[in-house]
């Protein structure tokens, strides 16, 4: 077989796989449309014109770009939802419901010089559009699929897997303190998280506030991207973003756009970076 024919065969094969994957995603959309919660989230996404694509892992991807507005810079955030192309239709629908909660809520500016690590992690878990709300909505869709006539379109095995995935959510969401605390179960990540907190250049009282929330119990909820409990993943994310904004703060153009340079210095100092623009 010539290389030209081989390339043509590969292209045809890729086209078939892509069409099949897109067809499966359409089925996930249809499942969501049959649930009250999913239908509302899809309507919000359409109103906000949020792109939904297939990819290697389900996530909400937010890209920040700086745009010059008059004599100062502002951040413009572009949001898109990516759905795991390897998952089955039912779990693509659940993932999509989860990610749309993140995507359809107003994005806070992660480059805000006043943003501290504790606020970032707490909002990422407990805030509007955070992980607690996303998982609750995801499992609301799951319950509606299991309880409704849609069960005719999902297998008994899929229904059972939804129950296993969401049973704790259904049992604990009515107890706010138990529900919130469950996101801070760290298991064997406890020591790693504690070290990361102690390494932060913040007040002792702030550190104690952190340490009073975390728990050694086995994690129940973890980031699909970082494969770590949410507090660990979000703190690492905060440190990474802060390193980025502090390194770029040496640019005079960016420095002029910072509303309060002293606050930025505090944020940078908290992760061990000193800036002198």
* Cβ contact 95:83 at 8 Å: yes
pLDDT of 234 > 50? The answer is yes
Q: Which residues contact 6 (CB under 8 A, 6 or more apart)?
A: none
pLDDT score at 253:
47
SS3 content of the chain, % helix, strand, coil (to 5): 65, 10, 25
Using pLDDT thresholds of 50, 70 and 90, give the confidence band for residue 6. very low
pLDDT of 203 > 70? The answer is yes
Write out the DSSP string of 93-115.
HHHHHHHHHHHTSPPP-TT-TT-
Angle formed by the axes of helices 230-248 and 117-126, nearest 10°? 130
pLDDT score at 55:
93
pLDDT score at 81:
95
Indicate the pTM of the whole model: 0.84
Query: How does DSSP classify residue 225?
Result: T
pLDDT score at 265:
80
Query: 3 or 87: whose pLDDT is higher?
Result: 87
Q: What is the mean pLDDT of residues 206-230?
A: 90
Residue among 232, 272, 268 at smallest CA distance from 112: 268
Between CA 212 and CA 184 the distance in angstroms is 10
- The dihedrals phi and psi of 242, each to the nearest 5 degrees, come to -65, -40
pLDDT score at 5:
53
Using pLDDT thresholds of 50, 70 and 90, give the confidence band for residue 16. very low
Q: Which of 6-20, 100-114, 195-209, 216-230 has the highest mean pLDDT?
A: 216-230
pLDDT of 163 > 50? The answer is yes
Query: 273 or 234: whose pLDDT is higher?
Result: 234
Two structure tokens written together for 168: 């704790």
Q: Is 255 left (phi over 0), alpha (psi -120 to 50) or beta?
A: alpha
Q: Is 215 helix (H, G, I), strand (E, B) or coil?
A: strand
Query: 226 or 4: whose pLDDT is higher?
Result: 226
Two structure tokens written together for 109: 């500016």
Using pLDDT thresholds of 50, 70 and 90, give the confidence band for residue 2. low
pLDDT in tens, 74-112: 777 889 999 999 999 999 999 999 999 999 987 667 777
pLDDT in tens, 42-56: 999 999 999 999 999
Between CA 180 and CA 132 the distance in angstroms is 7
pLDDT of 14 > 60? The answer is no
DSSP H helices, 173-229, are: 176-181, 190-199, 204-213
pLDDT score at 251:
58
pLDDT score at 56:
92
Q: What is the mean pLDDT of residues 246-257?
A: 59
Q: What is the mean pLDDT of residues 24-30?
A: 89
> What is the per-residue burial (b if ≥16 Cβ within 10 Å, else e) of 162-190?
beeebebbeebbeeeeebeebbbbbeebb
Between CA 51 and CA 60 the distance in angstroms is 10
* Cβ contact 241:273 at 8 Å: no
Between CA 224 and CA 98 the distance in angstroms is 12
Q: What is the mean pLDDT of residues 158-169?
A: 94
Residue among 137, 136, 109, 113 at smallest CA distance from 123: 109
Two structure tokens written together for 196: 């990361």
Task: Give the whole-number percent of the chain exceeding pLDDT 70.
Answer: 82
pLDDT of 152 > 80? The answer is no
* Cβ contact 57:82 at 8 Å: yes
Strand locations in the chain (E): 52-55, 59-69, 72-84
């Amino acid at each position: 077989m010539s290389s030209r024919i081989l390339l043509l065969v590969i292209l045809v094969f890729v086209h078939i796989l892509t069409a099949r994957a897109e067809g499966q995603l359409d089925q996930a959309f249809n499942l969501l449309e049959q649930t009250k919660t999913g239908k509302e989230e899809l309507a919000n996404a359409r109103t906000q014109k949020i792109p939904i694509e297939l990819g290697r892992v389900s996530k909400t991807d937010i890209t920040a770009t700086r745009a010059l507005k008059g004599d100062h810079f502002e951040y413009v955030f572009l949001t898109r939802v990516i759905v795991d192309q390897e998952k089955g239709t039912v779990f693509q629908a659940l993932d999509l419901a989860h990610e749309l909660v993140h995507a359809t809520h107003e994005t806070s500016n992660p480059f805000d010089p006043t943003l501290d690590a504790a606020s970032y992690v707490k909002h990422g878990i407990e805030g509007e559009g955070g992980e607690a709300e996303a998982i609750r909505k995801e499992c609301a869709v799951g319950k509606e699929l299991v309880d409704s006539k849609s069960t005719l379109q999902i297998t008994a095995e899929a229904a059972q897997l939804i129950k296993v995935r969401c049973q704790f959510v259904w049992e604990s969401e009515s107890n706010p303190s138990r529900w919130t605390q469950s996101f801070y179960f760290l298991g064997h990540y406890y020591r790693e998280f504690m070290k990361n907190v102690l390494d932060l250049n913040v007040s002792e009282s702030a550190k104690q506030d952190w340490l009073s929330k975390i728990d050694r119990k086995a994690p129940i909820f973890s980031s699909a991207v970082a494969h770590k409990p949410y507090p660990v993943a979000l703190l690492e994310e905060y440190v990474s973003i802060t390193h980025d904004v502090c390194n770029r703060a040496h640019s005079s153009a960016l420095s002029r756009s910072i509303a309060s340079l002293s606050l930025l210095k505090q944020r940078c100092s908290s992760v061990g970076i000193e800036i002198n623009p």
